[in-house]
Amino acid sequence: MTLLTELKNKMANLVQPMSIAMASMLLLSILASNSSGGTNDGVLNFNKTPLLTQQPTITTFDGPGAGTGPGQGTIAFAINPAGTISGRYADSAGAIHAILRFANGSIISFDAPGAGTGNRQGTRPFSINPAGATAGYYSDANNVFHGFLRTPYGVITTFNIPGAGTSPGEGTFAGNINPVGAVAGRYVDASDVAHGFLRAPDGTITTFDAANAGTGPGQGTFVFTGFCLSPAGAIAASSVDASNVSHGILRAADGTMTTFDVPGAGTDAFQGTFTIAINTNGAITGWYVDEADVNHGFVRTSDGTITTFDVPGAGTGAFQGTSGQAINAPAVVTGEYVDASDVNHGFVRASDGTLITFDVSSAGTGSLQGTVPLSNNPANAITGYYIDANNVTHGFLRTP
């Protein structure tokens, strides 16, 4: 899971780790009349008494068997409209196992057939659709990656994209599933070049490359994991060109590809535009890295309009700043910002641009610790993970 949180988290799992607020809750305030206080004349007089509003609730959780050492623990990746969360945990030996957490709080774990049991090997379910089907990838005992699809009933299908490499770090990286069961992702070939793919519900596979994608190691077309495939079949992707600069890509359902760069994006190696998620209406979020290696969030609407934003408190040093991680149907964005001390914090950005920030209370406050939201559903429930003071990860759910 990097190019920050797929480059910090999303690509950290390849080469190896969201506050929930309804648009209305982002405008939360205590409503009161001009007069302070209120009267009680036998009935409550709500015209004079401030109204109390429900505050978001954060619930933390750990997968069964999650390790408690540095770099171990639980990461929640995605949440569907029913409140089911897909995620994973690293056990005490560092092996990775998939989990599903249901709305009632119960958690089950599973492993894809053929998943390795060594350190950093195992199963990672990055995406979950409304029916509860999950998609992701697993690494085998040779550190080669393979895609999988798990039905809501527990049936697991594994697959490899033709042309995927078979050496350590290569293979198939599935990670996005839409309501009809189509799966999108990337594969890395024997030359360590990335290519995009779309797997139809019947198993038919289509591969694609952006016109400006480089052909050297670490270059190519990247479809990151989680929320890059819309219900209509559009894919948000990124291309890394021959100079190792990243660009935004939108692949329409008919295969037409549009390239875009966020204004202000840097043009040196490892800078540029990183597209991370697309919603039901075709709006895209992610981040761009400027010429000083600082991250900034952006939203690109379906008509191509791009709005950039920075969360107050975000650092302005290299590898600090703001990163959009997910965008739901109402166009609420959640993600993380990194402050001047390199601590992670969560944020929610309403469709009108209103920003609120939050932290899990038990999150660490040291460098590279803190709160990292990764997903929000249509009801503005957010899931992700936090890193505690001992550098152990834990899942969280933030509900309105």
Tell me the residue type at 277: A
The residue count for the chain? 400
pLDDT per residue as tens digits for the range 336-354:
999 999 999 999 999 999 9
pLDDT > 70 fraction of the chain, expressed in percent and rounded: 87
pLDDT of residue 26: 29
pLDDT in tens, the chain (400 residues): 333 344 434 333 333 333 323 233 222 232 222 323 332 222 222 233 334 567 899 999 999 999 999 999 999 999 999 999 999 999 999 999 999 999 999 999 999 999 999 999 999 999 999 999 999 999 999 999 999 999 999 999 999 999 999 999 999 999 999 999 999 999 999 999 999 999 999 999 999 999 999 999 999 999 999 999 999 999 999 999 999 999 999 999 999 999 999 999 999 999 999 999 999 999 999 999 999 999 999 999 999 999 999 999 999 999 999 999 999 999 999 999 999 999 999 999 999 999 999 999 999 999 999 999 999 999 999 999 999 999 999 999 999 8
- Residue 326, strand partner residues: 334
* Residue keyed to tokens 């900034």: 296
pLDDT of residue 86: 98
pLDDT of residue 53: 61
What distance lies between CA 245 and its chain's CA centroid?
A: 21
**What's the pTM?**
0.87
Cα–Cα dist 150/181, whole Å: 10
Secondary structure letter of residue 27 according to DSSP = G
pLDDT of residue 52: 54
Cα–Cα dist 379/56, whole Å: 12
**Strands 183-188 and 194-199, how do they pair?**
antiparallel
pLDDT of residue 35: 29
pLDDT of residue 54: 75
Cα–Cα dist 342/328, whole Å: 27
Domains of the chain: 18-399 (2.130.10.10)
* Three-state DSSP class for residue 116: coil
Half-sphere exposure of 106 (CA within 13 A, CB side): 2
Half-sphere exposure of 245 (CA within 13 A, CB side): 14
pLDDT per residue as tens digits for the range 225-282:
999 999 999 999 999 999 999 999 999 999 999 999 999 999 999 999 999 999 999 9
> How distant, in Å, are the alpha carbons of 55, 81, 181, 281 from that of 232?
34, 17, 11, 9
pLDDT of residue 18: 32
pLDDT of residue 14: 31
Cα–Cα dist 278/276, whole Å: 7
**Residue 131 phi/psi, 5° resolution?**
-80, -15
- Residue 227, strand partner residues: 277
pLDDT of residue 72: 98
User: DSSP letters along 204-258, please?
Assistant: -EEEE--TT---STT-EEE--SSB-B-TTS-EEEEEE-TTS-EEEEEE-TTS-EE
Cα–Cα dist 338/366, whole Å: 11
Cα–Cα dist 263/190, whole Å: 34
